[in-house]
Amino acid sequence: MTKLFAASRKTGPASAWIYGEPRVDDLLGDPVVTSLLRRDGLTGADVRAAVALGKERLSPTTPKERQAA
């Protein structure tokens, strides 16, 4: 188990992920992720579109209701 005080020191690029999820841009900038996407015939735009669709589906309101607000 990682102790909080041990994880609070910056040790490298991944240390920002200790307390939360990485941003999509961070993931898409990872060479392993880009290699996997390329292998599967996908692009960063495909991932961003999937994330946007998921956010929309999980939203408690419809796009029309958000525009009216």
- For position 19, what pLDDT does the model report? 73
Question: Which of residues 2 and 59 earns the better pLDDT score?
Answer: 59
- For position 48, what pLDDT does the model report? 97
The domains of the chain are located at 22-68
Over residues 11-62, the pLDDT tens digits come to 666 665 577 788 999 999 999 999 999 999 999 999 999 999 999 898 887 6
69 contact partners, CB below 8 Å, separation of at least 6: 61
- For position 17, what pLDDT does the model report? 59
Angle made by CA atoms 37, 19, 2, in degrees to the nearest 5? 105
Q: How many CB atoms within 10 Å of residue 26?
A: 14
